[in-house]
Amino acid sequence: MKAIEVIDDLRRRFPNEPEYIQAVEEVLTSIEETYNAHPEFERYNLIERLCIPDRIFSFRVSWVDDSGRVRTNMGYRIQHNNAIGPYKGGIRFHSSVNQSILKFLAFEQTFKNSLTTLAMGGAKGGSDFSPRGKSDMEVMRFCQAFIAELWRQIGPDTDVPAGDIGVGGREVGYMYGYYKKMAREFTGTFTGKGREFGGSLIRPEATGFGNCYFLLNMLATRNIDIKGKRVAISGSGNVATYTALKLMQLGAKVVSMSDSDGSIYAPEGLSDTELQFIFELKNVMRGRIREAAEEFPATIEYRAGERPWQFAKCDIAMPSATQNELDGDDARALLAQGVIAVSEGANMPSTPEAVKEFLNARILYAPGKAANAGGVAVSGLEMAQNSQKLSWSAEEVDRKLRDIMSRIHSSCVEFGTEADGFVNYVKGANVAGFMKVARAMMAQGVV
Ligand code: NDP
Ligand code: 2IT
């Protein structure tokens, strides 16, 4: 396989899918050597079968808003690969959602899920519906209309959705409720459910906490203590807020958070009270991050339209909002101020140019598919609990999460250590994730 030829061919076949091509290119260039050391992979054309999703469902979702107007959105579910377990991955509701974005996410999810050591294939779904500014009833009607189309394609051993951008506990609850009504069964078909109906403790915290655990593993390779380190975070949703909480518990200072309108900057680090306000602002009031600066004007400033990377003074960056939110200039600005680590909470937040900068600078750089795998890992633990019809304590789930993150870190070190001892976590994560899926696909023949 020549990575460049496969990528050119995919570009020709899927010309309007830049995010998908970007994600494939990053993986193929780092697994090329390993792939070519196994001529049997090529005989089975493993590469095309791994890059192109097993199937894509796309459908119209019609619903009625509070004023009685009939609205339509697009809905999708990409079932990418189920070689190592049922299709598994989140659902994203955001106005920017399209097939390219969901294909990139489903592709990434396949490798991420493989890294978790649990039995989960890769999938992603979503809609260009934006929950922003919608009433609870509108969100509920939309979720029901979405599931009315999708419910036949999902199931506890077939395909298990969860949350992602714009989809949290509220949306999962509405989708699960309607799924249960249609399927007439109470099974673990969604993860991220409410605690009262099969949700796992620590699932809301898992992605952010897991990213911090991964960061601790990386820092340990260089004997660096997290205490007192200044961390710039982007986003202020599920991943960003729980990342901030764990960092502060660990004694680090969280100096920034953001949303799609702008960033807040707290040069001395957010206080517990300020972070608590942000949790409520985001989950209860469903407000904007600007309001945190309005509430605490003495300690927090607001920068409209800016991302944290160019101005927040920090030692560590944890981008936790969305794809391609940190570009080459941002990476150079972070490196110029001496950043020691970048650990990605979001999926593919750094552009290829930014990734190149981080790798060339030989800082600790963890790609999302390794660093944010704690979310789906605890989803896997939720599936296990649902199958057993038991629930585990918060301590037990947290201990398993720490253990999984450190095993993912070890896999990255095993497959990504270069001749001079530098750990290329991009290569490590891609090769480790790929090999397990590849072996399973080989064993199962051409299907
Ligand atoms: P949320 O919807 O809870 O939060 C998303 C945050 O990112 C919000 O602050 C949002 O701001 C901001 N954001 C979204 N889109 C954009 C954009 N186009 N430009 C700037 N800011 C944006 O989502 P999550 O926290 O769940 O997800 C964040 C990232 O983490 C995503 O990349 C997701 O794929 C990834 N992830 C999530 C996991 C999970 O378990 N939830 C697991 C692994 C990865 P605004 O309110 O203005 O839209
Ligand atoms: O990107 C991700 O890993 C998620 N949104 C979580 C997926 C899941 O199934 O828990």
Q: What is the pLDDT of residues 214-269, one digit of tens each?
A: 999 999 999 999 999 999 999 999 999 999 999 999 999 999 999 999 999 999 99
| Rg of the chain on CA atoms, in Å | 21
What CATH number does the domain containing 325 carry?
Answer: 3.40.50.720
385 part of a folded domain: no
Residue pair 407/148 in contact by the 8 Å Cβ criterion: no
Q: Would you state the pLDDT for residue 5?
A: 96
Question: Which atom of ligand 2 lies nearest, measured to the CA of 372?
Answer: 3
Q: Would you state the pLDDT for residue 63?
A: 98
Q: How confident is the model at residue 373 (pLDDT cuts 50, 70, 90)?
A: very high
- Cα 76 to ligand 2 centroid, rounded to whole Å: 16
Query: Which tokens is 231 given?
Result: 């961390």
Tell which residue, 213, 190, 202, 173, has the closest CA to residue 345.
213
Q: What pLDDT, in 10s, does the model give residues 124-156?
A: 999 999 999 999 999 999 999 999 999 999 999
- Cα 426 to ligand 1 centroid, rounded to whole Å: 21
Residues 234 and 153 in one domain: no
Q: Which ligand is nearest to the CA of 380?
A: 2
191 part of a folded domain: no
Overall average pLDDT of the 319-346 stretch: 98
Residues 70 and 177 in one domain: yes
Question: Which atom of ligand 1 lies nearest, measured to the CA of 259?
Answer: 11
281 part of a folded domain: yes
Q: Which ligand is nearest to the CA of 371?
A: 1
406 part of a folded domain: no
DSSP state of 54: S
Residue whose CA is at the smallest distance from ligand 2 atom 4: 90
Q: What's the one-letter identity of residue 142?
A: F
Overall average pLDDT of the 211-215 stretch: 99
Q: Would you state the pLDDT for residue 253?
A: 98
Q: Would you state the pLDDT for residue 331?
A: 98
Give the integer Cα–Cα distance in Å for 347 and 324.
9
What are the counts of helices (DSSP H) followed by strands (DSSP E) for the chain? Answer: 17, 12
From the list 88, 103, 112, 124, the catalytic residue is 124
Give the integer Cα–Cα distance in Å for 299 and 301.
7
| Probe residue for ligand 2, chosen from 77, 111, 211, 376 as the CB with the greatest number of ligand atoms within 8 Å | 376
Instruction: Indicate if ligand 1 lies below 6 Å from the C-beta of 374.
Output: no
Residues 237 and 119 in one domain: no
Q: Would you state the pLDDT for residue 205?
A: 98
Residues 71 and 175 in one domain: yes
Residues 266 and 323 in one domain: yes
DSSP state of 286: -
Q: Which ligand is nearest to the CA of 87?
A: 2
Residue whose CA is at the smallest distance from ligand 1 atom 32: 346
Q: Would you state the pLDDT for residue 141?
A: 98
What CATH number does the domain containing 26 carry?
Answer: 3.40.50.10860
Residue 2 annotated to the active site: no
Backbone CA torsion sign across 329, 332, 337, 341: positive
Q: Would you state the pLDDT for residue 222?
A: 98
Cβ atoms within 10 Å, residue 247 = 26
Instruction: Indicate if ligand 2 lies below 6 Å from the C-beta of 122.
Output: no
Q: How confident is the model at residue 388 (pLDDT cuts 50, 70, 90)?
A: very high
Q: How many separate domains does the chain show?
A: 2
Tell which residue, 195, 147, 139, has the closest CA to residue 170.
139
Instruction: Indicate if ligand 1 lies below 6 Å from the C-beta of 322.
Output: yes
Beta bridge partners of 366: 343
355-382 per-residue burial string, b: 16 or more CB within 10 A, e: under 16: bebbeeeebbbbbbbbbbbbbbbbbbbb
Q: Would you state the pLDDT for residue 157?
A: 97
Residues 226 and 362 in one domain: yes
Q: Would you state the pLDDT for residue 395?
A: 98
Q: How confident is the model at residue 405 (pLDDT cuts 50, 70, 90)?
A: very high
- Cα 418 to ligand 1 centroid, rounded to whole Å: 33
- Cα 427 to ligand 1 centroid, rounded to whole Å: 25
Q: With left for phi above 0 and alpha for psi between -120 and 50, is residue 424 left, alpha or beta?
A: beta
Integer CA distances (angstroms), 37 to 51, 54, 369, 390, 446, in order: 19, 25, 24, 44, 20
Q: With left for phi above 0 and alpha for psi between -120 and 50, is residue 168 left, alpha or beta?
A: beta
Residues 356 and 318 in one domain: yes
Domain boundary among 366, 391, 412: 366
Give the integer Cα–Cα distance in Å for 153 and 99.
18
Residue whose CA is at the smallest distance from ligand 1 atom 21: 260
387 part of a folded domain: no
Place of tokens 């609850």: 173
Q: Is 61 helix (H, G, I), strand (E, B) or coil?
A: strand
Average pLDDT, the chain: 98
14 part of a folded domain: yes
| Probe residue for ligand 1, chosen from 260, 279, 323, 404 as the CB with the greatest number of ligand atoms within 8 Å | 260
Q: What pLDDT, in 10s, does the model give residues 54-96?
A: 999 999 999 999 999 999 999 999 999 999 999 999 999 999 9
Cβ atoms within 10 Å, residue 393 = 10
Domain boundary among 366, 388, 405: 366
Q: Would you state the pLDDT for residue 272?
A: 98
Residues 287 and 168 in one domain: no
- Cα 289 to ligand 2 centroid, rounded to whole Å: 24
Give the integer Cα–Cα distance in Å for 434 and 282.
36
Distance of alpha carbon 124 from its chain centroid, rounded? 11
List of residues 6+ apart from 447 with CB closer than 8 A = none
Beta bridge partners of 332: none
Q: Would you state the pLDDT for residue 164?
A: 98
Backbone CA torsion sign across 326, 330, 331, 334: negative
Overall average pLDDT of the 383-391 stretch: 97
Residues 214 and 327 in one domain: yes
Distance of alpha carbon 151 from its chain centroid, rounded? 23
- Cα 367 to ligand 2 centroid, rounded to whole Å: 15
Give all strands of the β-sheet with 122-127 in edge-to-edge order.
Answer: 55-64, 70-81, 122-127, 87-93, 159-162
Q: How confident is the model at residue 206 (pLDDT cuts 50, 70, 90)?
A: very high
**Alpha helix positions (H), 221-271:** 238-249
- Cα 302 to ligand 2 centroid, rounded to whole Å: 30
373 part of a folded domain: no
Q: How confident is the model at residue 107 (pLDDT cuts 50, 70, 90)?
A: very high
The residue range of the domain holding 128 is 3-185
Query: Which tokens is 142 given?
Result: 């939309």
Domain boundary among 338, 366, 394: 366
Overall average pLDDT of the 313-323 stretch: 98
Instruction: Indicate if ligand 2 lies below 6 Å from the C-beta of 379.
Output: yes
Q: Would you state the pLDDT for residue 74?
A: 98
Beta bridge partners of 301: 265
Instruction: Indicate if ligand 2 lies below 6 Å from the C-beta of 162.
Output: yes
39 part of a folded domain: yes
Query: Which tokens is 334 given?
Result: 């972070």
Instruction: Indicate if ligand 2 lies below 6 Å from the C-beta of 376.
Output: yes
Residues 358 and 326 in one domain: yes
Instruction: Indicate if ligand 1 lies below 6 Å from the C-beta of 144.
Output: no
Place of tokens 């952010």: 208
Q: How confident is the model at residue 21 (pLDDT cuts 50, 70, 90)?
A: very high
Question: Which atom of ligand 2 lies nearest, measured to the CA of 163?
Answer: 5
Query: Which tokens is 418 given?
Result: 């270069």
Residues 216 and 278 in one domain: yes
Beta bridge partners of 78: 56, 124
Q: What's the one-letter identity of residue 296?
A: F
Residues 69 and 138 in one domain: yes
